[in-house]
Each structure stands twice: as C-alpha cells, then as structure tokens.
Structure 1
Amino acid sequence: MSDTQTLIENRPPSVAGLFLERVAATPDAEAYRYPVPPAAGSGPDDWKSLSWGQAAERVFSIAAGLMDLGIEPEERVALAADTRVEWILADLGILCAGAATTTVYSSTNAEESAFILSDSGSKVLIAENEAQLAKARERRAELPDLKYVVLIDGDHGLATGDDEGDDWVLSLADLEARGAAYLEKNPAAVKERIAAITKDQLATIIYTSGTTGRPKGVRLPHDNWSYMAKAIAATGLVGADDVQYLWLPLAHVFGKVLTSGQIEVGHVTAVDGRVDKIIENLPVVQPTYMAAVPRIFEKVYNGVVGKARAGGGAKYKIFQWAAGVAREYAKVTQDNFRRTGNASAPFPLSAKHALADKLVYGKLREAFGGRLRACVSGSAALAPEIGYFFAGAGIHILEGYGLTESSAASFVNPGEAYRTGTVGKPLPGTEVRIADDGEILLRGPGIMEGYHGLPEKTTEVLESDGWFHTGDIGELSPDGYLRITDRKKDLIKTSGGKYIAPAEVEGQFKAVCPYVSNILVHGADRNFCTALIALDEPSVLSWAEEQGFGGKSYAEVVADKRTVALIDGYVRELNQGLQRWQTIKKFRLLPRDLDVEHGELTPSLKLKRPVVEREYKGLIDDMYAGAMEK
C-alpha cells in the first residue's frame, strides 16, 4: 500500500477529530486571519489572527453552548451568514458537538430559508445579523422545530429578550459564555462527543440551488469531510507554509471543503467574504493560493483589458501583443511539459515572454499580492483562452471539478502538470468512468449519503454499487485528465438534428469579447442558434465614455446602435471559429446584467438557464419571428 493510500484509508471518522489532532500538534501556530473594520469607520481594515489553540477555545465553547441548549448528535444547526471567521468557528463548534450543519446563503429569501430550516428540521439557527433573524421571525409559525436563534452580530440575551418578545434569541457571545460555564462543570464533554462520532454520522446538509422547484438537501456524513481533508493533503498542492485567501461562500460546498483541507495541512487562512474587498485585500493578505469561480477571473480579465484600452492606443497595442504572447507561451510550455516533463519554450518566444513580463505580467501578479503560486477554479467551466492568458502571465489557474453530491473536490489539476481546458485528474481514492452516453460517473468516499427525505430522487442518481450519475458530459484522456463538455440536460439539439454544447460556445465568446459579463446560447428545437448577452457594466460604460456618449445609464448604453455594432463584431469573430450549426445568427443585449437577486444566477454564479429563458422569452421569440422553422 502506498503512503497516499495509507494516509487516506487510515483517516479518522470526522474532521472534528482532525481538528483535535491539529490543535494538539500546532496550538500556537497561526490558523486564521480576519479583518476588523476601523473604529472611525474609514481607512483600511485591521487584520487580526487566531492561533489553533485560540480557535479551539472558541470552537469548544460554541460546541458546549449548543450542548447546553439541548442539541444532540446529528440534530441540525443552521448557519446563515456570509463568509467570515465566525462561520468557520460555528461550523466546527456544530461538528464538535456531534451535530450537523445546515448551510443557508445569506442571500436566500425568507420563503426558501424557511423551507430549508423546516425541511432539515433545524433546532438552532446561527444567523449573521438582524436581517437574517427577520427572515426566521417572519416565518416562525412554519418552523416548529426551531428553538433558538444565535446572532453573530447582536447583543440579544435570553434573559432579556427584546421588544418583539424574542426570548428565543441570544448572541454568539452569550452562547460561548454558556458553553464556557458548561465546560467548567463538564470539562471532557466536547472531547467525549467528538470521540463518539462515527464516520457514517450526518455532518452537513447542503441544499442545491435548483433551477426549478424546491432545492434538495444533500446529506454529507463526517467521513466525506475527513476523506476530503486527507485527499487534498495527498495531492501535495498545498503545504503548511501556505497562506490561503478564502472569500468563497461557505454555504457552498466549494468554500466548505477548503476549510477541511486547511485543518489537515495546518496552513493559514485569511477569511473575508466581501467580494467588493477582494482587490483591496489581495496585496494586504499576499496569499500563496486562493480558490475562485470563473466569473472572478473573467471580471479581472475584462478589467485589465479596459485599463489597457483607457491608457491609449499604444498601451492597448502593447497589452494585446503581451496577451497573445502569454497564450502562445502557455500552450507551448504546457505541451512541452506533457511530452517531455520540461515546461520549456523556444528562445525567441522566451525572449518575447520576458519582455512582456516586464511590461505587463509583473504588474498583474502584484495586483494578486505578488506571492500567488496558484489559483483553483471550480463550480463552472473557465474559458480556455482566459486560462491560457493567466497561465502565460504567471498566474496558474488549476481547474477542478466536483459537485455538492461529491463533497466538491473530485478532480483537480496536478500542480506543474496542469492542463488548461481540463479539470485534471481524480483525487486519490476517487474512481471515474464515462457512460455510453458520455455522462461522467463517480464513486468514492466523497459521494453523498443521499438526498434528505427524498429516497426516490437518491435512487435516480446513486446506483446500489456506489456509482453516482453527475449529469455532466465529459471525456477522459488516455492518461486520465478529464474535460467537461457540458451539462447533460443543457445540451441543445437543433431542429436539424445537430447537438451543441452551449457552455462551450459561451466560453469561447467570453475569451473573444472583453465586454461580456454573461451569455446564454439558445437553439433547442430551432434551426439556428441565438444568444442573450449581458455586458460588464464598468467595461462598457468606460468604452462608451471613450466613444463620446458617456454619462448615460447602462440600459441606455446597451440600447445604443454603436454598442450593438461593437458586440456584433465580436459575435462575427466568434462565428469564424465555430461549426456552421453552432454559429450565433442573432443576439440581443440585455437591459441589465444577470444576478443572484433576480434568481438568474446561483449563489456560486452559475447560469440558471430555464429562469433566464423564461424571463426573456419575448426577446428570444423576437429573434425567431419570421424565421423558417423546421
């Protein structure tokens, strides 16, 4: 048996157990960094740290506080908060109490929040603030199981209640104080709970944001997270000296799995979920690695292009040249590494790359903090041409793949041997096969137990021998690299009988057009393809200013014939690289960008196709009006 297999197969039953081991091994080492806004209300944040020992003190107090409230093993405690250090401490507290975390996005509306709390049978809700409390209060009659709400930001106390009569509300500080008092009387209580956890015991329920109907609760036992922690460590991609910048939503499985890997490896994690602070935080945190969704890299790319264009014609030409060199360099070096194990490039290309590095790439790396070894991208496909641009600029984006049902990380690109356009190889211990229809099937310790309270839905996707049907279509290379081509249900079949993977076309357009924010390709049962296109507001407004019609709203700019002509040029460029039946014959620019608030994107920024197609049915019908349909 290899060292990797031993590491994974001899894993403890829970991440709570791994946390105890980590605290015992490095109690004084830095575990978490978190921002504290300045007291004056302006100026840069002050970043503070928690050691593993300090984190454990708070985690144990939260765990004991929950036990004092009567929480038993496997009972659910919901967490509704943005990404912040208290989210991690609360989640670990829940797990160390032997209970199970139900994750709720802070952006989830009152109706769906109530459904998740009710369906999961959550007894306690740990809520970020009064806004999250208000959702529970509004639907309290529908939540007979919910006994307490714990406020992270708030000074409620059970003793006093408030003017709403909320004697069920207490602050996180109150909970920790109760826990500390409980531990004084029962000092071994939390460690005894942890010791009693079995690998099959429920740890987490994460609700998938369904495009239609109610979300399904994915049941993930403790063993899923323990396996993920060991498998991530076994990849060798991260080490104890790393600094991770964690901003992804922790209610999403991608963000959550990163906390498990960190506990096993023991590196520092800087936590701040405020997306508008990413650009400001990166030079302060100076991370060595971070994870993100493709939309973030697309926005950075669009921003870089816009800045270069704003610098004038000469500066923009230099950037375009450097971007071309980056892509060529990345493709050549990756190909050489695949063939020879040496990421080299011919001297003329290397010389051009060195010059471009001084002029362009170095500044880009500095914007990321200057120490970034790699980024991990997941949740959706990254356009390969954008991936090659960053790779050539020295920002290595390792695409990975997984689902909520597989505890997030099933595949990841292997460090130096990464291949842009693929999601890499399976994590140690995970099996993969491609079904006859191209669907990707997975089996291994990361696969869910099933959907909460939905046995018939579980059997639709999970075979009795453990193979899970992902619903994604993909191809495996002879040496085990996986390429995702599309969601099985999203494949378009035109009225002419041709199959089209819309995500592939959409990704190519994002690489061609620096102004696009979101694009949806439509064409099912039609005789040609069309597209709905939403533009990146800062980029297109900056362009409009350069063209002499600034000062207008986004809706006015996208309605202008000059903007339509601009995007038409990029659509024509896209079409040159497509098969005839894939080409976009008509498009419409949307009057606003797609977003989570209107339900068009999931909280992890994935497109909800049925929602967008339903909302903009009039625009779609207009594009086909008068067309000869088969």
Structure 2
Amino acid sequence: MSDTQTLIENRPPSVAHLFLERVAATPDAEAYRYPVPAASGEGPDEWKSLSWAQAAERVDAIAAGLVELGLRAEDRVALASSTRVEWILCDLAIMCAGAATTTVYPQTNAEESAYILADSGSRVLIAEDAAQLAKAREKRADLPELRHVVVLDPEGAAPAEGDPDGWVLTLADLEARGAAHLEKNPGLVKERIAAITKDQLATIIYTSGTTGRPKGVRLPQDNWSYMAKAIAATGLLGPDDVQYLWLPLAHVFGKVLTSGQIELGHVTAVDGRVDKIIENLPVVQPTYMAAVPRIFEKVYNGVAAKARAGGAAKYKIFQWAAEVSREYAKVSQDNFRRTGTASVPFGLRAKHKTADALVYSKLREAFGGRLRAAVSGSAALAPEIGYFFAGAGIHILEGYGLTESSAASFVNPGEAYRTGTVGKPLPGTEVRIADDGEILLRGPGIMEGYHGLPEKTAEVLESDGWFHTGDIGELSVDGYLRITDRKKDLIKTSGGKYIAPAEVEGQFKAVCPYVSNILVHGADRNFCTALISLDEPAILQWAKENGQEGKSYAEVCAAPATVELIDGYVRELNEGLQRWQTIKKFRLLPRDLDVEHGELTPSLKLKRPVVEREYKHLIEEMYAGSREA
C-alpha cells in the first residue's frame, strides 16, 4: 500500500478527531488570523491571531454550551453568517458536540431561510446579527423545532417581547454557559468526540437550485475526514502556507478549505468581506487562496481598465504583455507535458522578462507578493484568462467538485497543472465518463443522499456508489479532466447542432475586458444570441473617456456608442467560432446580474432559467422576424 493510500485509508471518523490531534501536535502555532476594525472606525483594520490551543478553548466552550442547551448527536444547528473566524469556531464546536451544521447564506431571504431551518429540523440557529435574528423571529411560528438563536454580534439583537424565555442569547452567553458546564465535567467534549462514528451526519448544505426549492445534501463525518486527508495527500499545501479565506463558508467550496487546514496545520486568514480583498491581500501576503472565476475576471478587467486609463501607450504595452504572458504559459505548459521541464525559447524568455518588469511584477504585488498558487472552482475559468495569469506568475489551479461530492473531486497538480482542465481526481476518488459524456464519480467524498428526498437521491446516486454529476466532460489519456458543459445546459439548435454555451461565454470573457456576465441562448432556434451585462467600473471609466461622463450605468449601456463597442468584441469572438456557434445578435442589459435578484447563485454561477425568464422580451425581440419566430 502506498503512503498516500495509507494516509487516506487510516483516517479517523471525523474532523473533530483531526482537530484534537492538531491541537495536541501544535498547540502554540498560529491557527487563524482575523481583522478587528479600528476603534475609531477609521484607518486600517488590526489583524489578531488565535493559536490552535486558543481556538480549542473557544471551540470546547461553544460545544459544551450547545450540549448544555440539550443538543444530541446529529441534531442540527444552522449557521447564518458571513465568512468570519467565529463561523469556523462554531462549525467546529457543532461537530465536536456530535451535532450537524446546516448552512444558510446570509443573503437568503426570510422565507427561504425558514424553509431551510424547517426542512433540516434545526434546533439552534447561530445568527450573525440583528438582521439574521429578525428573519427567524418573523417566521418563528413556522419553526416549532427552533429552540434557541445564538447571536454573534449582539448590537440591536436583544430578546424582544413575545420571544420565549432563553430563545435569544449571545455567543458570549453560550461560551460562558459552556465554560461553567466544563468545570463540572471537564471531559465532556472529548467524550462527545469519542462517540462520533464515520457515518454520523456532519453537515447539510442546501444547493441553490435554479428551479424549485433547494435540496439539502447530507454529508456524513467521514466525507470531511476524507477530504482533509486527500487534500494533504495532493502535496499542494504544507504547514508553512498562509491561506487567505474569503469564500462563503455556507458554500461547500469554502467549507472544505477549513478541513484541509486542520489536517495540515497552516495559518488561515479569515475575512469574508469581498470589498476588502484588494486591501487585505498585501497585508495578509498569502501563499495560497481559493476563489471563483468571477474574481479573476474582475482583476483582469480592472488591470486592463487601469492600463487603458493611463493612455494609449500604456494600454498598448498591457496588450502586448498580455499576449506574451499567454504565449509563455502555453509554451511552458506544453513543454512540461512533453518533457517534464517548463522551458521556453530564448526570444520568448527575453520578451517575458521585459513584460514582467513592466506589468506582471505589479500584478503579483497586488496579490501580496507571495502567492504560490490560487485554486479556482465552482464554475469554468476562461482558458485565455487562465493563461494570462499563469504567464504572469500567478498559477491558477482549476479544480472541480459539487456539493454532492464535498467540493473537491479534482484539482490540478502543482507544477504539472494544465490550464483549461480541472486536473486529476483526488486520491481515493474514482471517475468514469458515461456513453453520453456525463461525468460519474465514486469515492469517500460522495454524499449520503438528499435530505428527506429518497426519489431525488435515486435519480443521481446508483446502488453501487456511482454519482451522476450532470456535467459533460472528457478525460485525457493521462487522467486530466476537461469540463465541456452542464448536461442540461447543452444547446441544440433547430439545425441539429449541439453548442456548449459556457465555452462560448468563456471565450467572450477573454476577448472583452468590459463584460461582467454573458448568457448565450439558442436552444431550438436557428441561430445564437446573447444577453450581456457589463462590468460597471470598467464601462463607466470608458464612458468618461468617450464623452458620456455623468451618465448612469443603464444610460451608458443603452448608448449607441457602447453597443458599437461591444459589437466589435462580439465580431472578434465570432472569428474564432464555428459558424453555428456564432452570436448573430445581442442585447446589453440595463443592470448587472446579481445574487440579490436571484440571477446568480451565492457562488456567482449563472442561473440560466431565471435570466432567460426575466429577459424573455429581449430574447424574443432578437428572434422577431426570423424563420422560427
């Protein structure tokens, strides 16, 4: 048996066990960093740290507090909060108490939050602040099993008239109760951990479905223990790494990162405020971070916009450097694949050195200067954007997984990564491609099933453990996976041609520096069209330079000059497409797509049915007068 197999197969039943081992091994090492706003409310945040021993002290107190509230094994505790260090401590405490976490995005409205709490049977809600408490209070009559709400930020979240006794308490209250409970029974938490079995429920994560109610994905304790060991076995990270964690912890991608960190023992800097990412990176100086493609697209658009604002000469230098970067990445990756060394010809190396001094070095500094690798997941990254960053020395390792597979099923292997693929399966995960191209997965990361939905579970999970992902893909001879599209998202034109819209959309994002979101439409039509929303800062900057200063975003998008600008990029896109893939018509949307309007999932994936329904009039307008209209 190989060392990797031994590492994975000899795993403990839960992450709670791994947490005990980590605290015992490195009690004084730094575990978490978190920001504390300046007392004056002005100036930079102060970053504070928790050692593993300090984290364990808080985790034990919260876990004991939950036990004191009457929580039993597998009882559900819902967490409705943005990404912050308390989220991680509470999630660990829930697991150490033998209970199970239900995650709720803080943006979720009161009705859907109540549905998740009721469907999961959550007995306790850990709410970030008064706003999250208000949602639960509004729907309390529909939540008979919800016994307590624990509030992280107590300001404005006091018990109100009509609340049952003890229904609202603060995290500080819970920790105090837990500490008192531990004085009488010091071994309480260790006893709870010792009783955890690998098949015991650890987490229910609700998928943000594009239609109907979200489904609760049941992930047992063993899923997370396996993920922790498998991430360590990839060799991508080590104990000396510094991870910057901003992803939503309610999402499976964010959650899996906390498991891997416990196994490896490296530092994690936690701050979920997306508007603080650019400010935080030079302070945290991470060696590793994970993100979704939209973040890299925004950085790319921002760099391009800044270069353009610097005048024609600067923008020309940027465009030249971007082309050099892509060529350098493609050549070096191709050579590495063939020979095992990422060599490039002397002439290209010389151009790259010049471009590095002018452009790439500044880009790396913006990421903190120490970033060794960034993992991208949740949706496809346009290869041309991936190659741009790769050539600039910011190595984006695409990965792949679903909520149903505990997030991480594939990841690109370090130096041998290949842009445009999602890499190889994690150790212990099996993959096969079905006759229709669908990717099937099997292994210890696969869910137990959908909560309370046996028929839905049977639709995707075979009796022998193979899970149907709903994604279409191709495996290379040496095991690299390329995702081509969602099975249900493939477009078949009225002419019988199949089109993968995500592929066309990704190519447009690499061509057009102003795009924010694009949806390609063409199912059962005789040509393809697109709905396009623009990146607000980038297009307003362009508008300012082109005689449209002072106009609103909607006014700029409606202006003929803007339509003409984007039409140029659509024509450029079409030059590289097959005839049946080309975009014949498009419409610019009056506002960007967002999570609040339900057009994007919280992990920023496009909800096609929602967007197509909302902008049906624009789609029909584009096909008016054509043969099938």
TM range (shorter): over 0.9
Q: Match of 1:220, SS?
A: strand
2:393 match: 394
1:608 match: 607
| CA separation of 1:247 and 1:418: change in aligned 2, threshold 3 A | same
Q: Match of 2:472, SS?
A: strand
Q: Match of 2:302, SS?
A: helix
- Tell me, yes or no, if the aligned pair for 2:398 and 2:422 is still in contact at 8 Å: yes
**Counterparts in 2 of 1:194-593, with a 5 A limit?**
194-593=193-592
Q: Match of 1:173, SS?
A: helix
- Tell me, yes or no, if the aligned pair for 2:130 and 2:156 is still in contact at 8 Å: no
Does residue 23 of structure 2 align to residue 29 of structure 1?
Answer: no
Q: Matched residues in 2 for 1:551 and 1:333: separation?
A: 46
For each residue in 1:145-173, what CA deviation from the matched residue of structure 2 results, as whole angstroms up to 9, or x when unmatched?
0000000000699xx84445453000000
- Tell me, yes or no, if the aligned pair for 2:399 and 2:412 is still in contact at 8 Å: yes
- Tell me, yes or no, if the aligned pair for 2:129 and 2:155 is still in contact at 8 Å: no
1:102 match: 102
1:121 match: 121
Q: Partner amino acid for 2:135?
A: K
Q: Partner amino acid for 1:34?
A: Y
**Counterparts in 2 of 1:124-203, with a 5 A limit?**
124-154=124-154, 161-163=159-161, 165=163, 167=165, 168-203=167-202
- Tell me, yes or no, if the aligned pair for 1:155 and 1:170 is still in contact at 8 Å: no
For each residue in 1:290-345, what CA deviation from the matched residue of structure 2 results, as whole angstroms up to 9, or x when unmatched?
00000000000000000000000111111110000000000000000000000010
**Percent identity (aligned):** 86
Q: Offset of 1:548 from its aligned partner?
A: 1.5
| CA separation of 1:586 and 1:170: change in aligned 2, threshold 3 A | same
**Counterparts in 2 of 1:61-80, with a 5 A limit?**
61-80=61-80
For each residue in 1:164-211, what CA deviation from the matched residue of structure 2 results, as whole angstroms up to 9, or x when unmatched?
545300000000000000000111010000000000000000000000
Q: Match of 1:530, SS?
A: strand
Q: Partner amino acid for 1:102?
A: T
Q: Offset of 1:628 from its aligned partner?
A: 1.0
Q: Partner amino acid for 2:222?
A: D
2:628 match: 629
Q: Offset of 1:380 from its aligned partner?
A: 0.0
- Tell me, yes or no, if the aligned pair for 1:531 and 1:588 is still in contact at 8 Å: yes
| CA separation of 1:62 and 1:320: change in aligned 2, threshold 3 A | same
Q: Partner amino acid for 2:302?
A: G
For each residue in 1:235-271, what CA deviation from the matched residue of structure 2 results, as whole angstroms up to 9, or x when unmatched?
0000000000000000000000000000000000000
Q: Match of 1:419, SS?
A: coil
1:54 match: 54
Q: Matched residues in 2 for 1:487 and 1:165: separation?
A: 46
Q: Offset of 1:3 from its aligned partner?
A: 0.3
Q: Match of 2:31, SS?
A: strand
| CA separation of 1:322 and 1:551: change in aligned 2, threshold 3 A | same
| CA separation of 1:40 and 1:155: change in aligned 2, threshold 3 A | closer
Q: Match of 1:335, SS?
A: helix
Q: Partner amino acid for 1:536?
A: D
For each residue in 1:27-47, what CA deviation from the matched residue of structure 2 results, as whole angstroms up to 9, or x when unmatched?
000000000001101100000
Q: Matched residues in 1 for 2:576 and 2:320: separation?
A: 21
Q: Matched residues in 2 for 1:330 and 1:78: separation?
A: 44
1:594 match: 593
Q: Matched residues in 1 for 2:156 and 2:170: separation?
A: 5
Q: Please, what TM-score do these two structures have when normalized by structure 2? A: 0.99
- Tell me, yes or no, if the aligned pair for 2:130 and 2:155 is still in contact at 8 Å: no
Q: Partner amino acid for 1:58?
A: R
Q: Match of 1:551, SS?
A: coil
Q: Offset of 1:215 from its aligned partner?
A: 0.2
| CA separation of 1:164 and 1:552: change in aligned 2, threshold 3 A | farther
- Tell me, yes or no, if the aligned pair for 1:156 and 1:169 is still in contact at 8 Å: no
Q: Partner amino acid for 1:475?
A: E
For each residue in 1:569-599, what CA deviation from the matched residue of structure 2 results, as whole angstroms up to 9, or x when unmatched?
0000000000000000000000000000000
Q: Matched residues in 2 for 1:312 and 1:8: separation?
A: 55
Q: Match of 2:238, SS?
A: coil
Q: Matched residues in 2 for 1:227 and 1:334: separation?
A: 30
Q: Offset of 1:550 from its aligned partner?
A: 1.1
For each residue in 1:33-66, what CA deviation from the matched residue of structure 2 results, as whole angstroms up to 9, or x when unmatched?
0000011011000000000000000000000000
Q: Match of 1:205, SS?
A: strand
Q: Matched residues in 2 for 1:270 and 1:70: separation?
A: 33
For each residue in 1:51-91, what CA deviation from the matched residue of structure 2 results, as whole angstroms up to 9, or x when unmatched?
00000000000000000000000000000000000000000
Q: Match of 1:48, SS?
A: strand
Q: Matched residues in 2 for 1:56 and 1:112: separation?
A: 33
Q: Match of 2:108, SS?
A: coil
Does residue 80 of structure 2 align to residue 85 of structure 1?
Answer: no
For each residue in 1:548-582, what CA deviation from the matched residue of structure 2 results, as whole angstroms up to 9, or x when unmatched?
21110000000000000000000000000000000
Q: Which runs of 5+ in 1 are unaligned?
A: none
- Tell me, yes or no, if the aligned pair for 1:156 and 1:170 is still in contact at 8 Å: no
- Tell me, yes or no, if the aligned pair for 1:85 and 1:271 is still in contact at 8 Å: yes
For each residue in 1:487-545, what CA deviation from the matched residue of structure 2 results, as whole angstroms up to 9, or x when unmatched?
00000000000000000000000000000000000000000000000000000000011
For each residue in 1:375-405, what CA deviation from the matched residue of structure 2 results, as whole angstroms up to 9, or x when unmatched?
0000000000000000000000000000000
Q: Which runs of 5+ in 2 are unaligned?
A: none
Q: Matched residues in 2 for 1:136 and 1:337: separation?
A: 54
Q: Matched residues in 2 for 1:491 and 1:366: separation?
A: 40
Aligned residue pair count: 628
Q: Match of 2:48, SS?
A: strand
Q: Matched residues in 1 for 2:617 and 2:278: separation?
A: 38
Q: Match of 1:295, SS?
A: helix
- Tell me, yes or no, if the aligned pair for 1:156 and 1:171 is still in contact at 8 Å: no
- Tell me, yes or no, if the aligned pair for 1:528 and 1:585 is still in contact at 8 Å: yes
Q: Partner amino acid for 2:300?
A: Y
- Tell me, yes or no, if the aligned pair for 1:473 and 1:484 is still in contact at 8 Å: yes
Q: Matched residues in 1 for 2:221 and 2:187: separation?
A: 21
Q: Match of 1:101, SS?
A: strand
Q: Match of 1:457, SS?
A: helix
- Tell me, yes or no, if the aligned pair for 2:83 and 2:272 is still in contact at 8 Å: yes
Q: Matched residues in 1 for 2:281 and 2:547: separation?
A: 34
For each residue in 1:333-369, what CA deviation from the matched residue of structure 2 results, as whole angstroms up to 9, or x when unmatched?
0000000000010000000000100000000000000
Q: Matched residues in 2 for 1:232 and 1:165: separation?
A: 44
For each residue in 1:384-427, what CA deviation from the matched residue of structure 2 results, as whole angstroms up to 9, or x when unmatched?
00000000000000000000000000000000000000000000
Q: Matched residues in 1 for 2:73 and 2:38: separation?
A: 40
Q: Match of 1:40, SS?
A: coil
Q: Partner amino acid for 2:15?
A: V
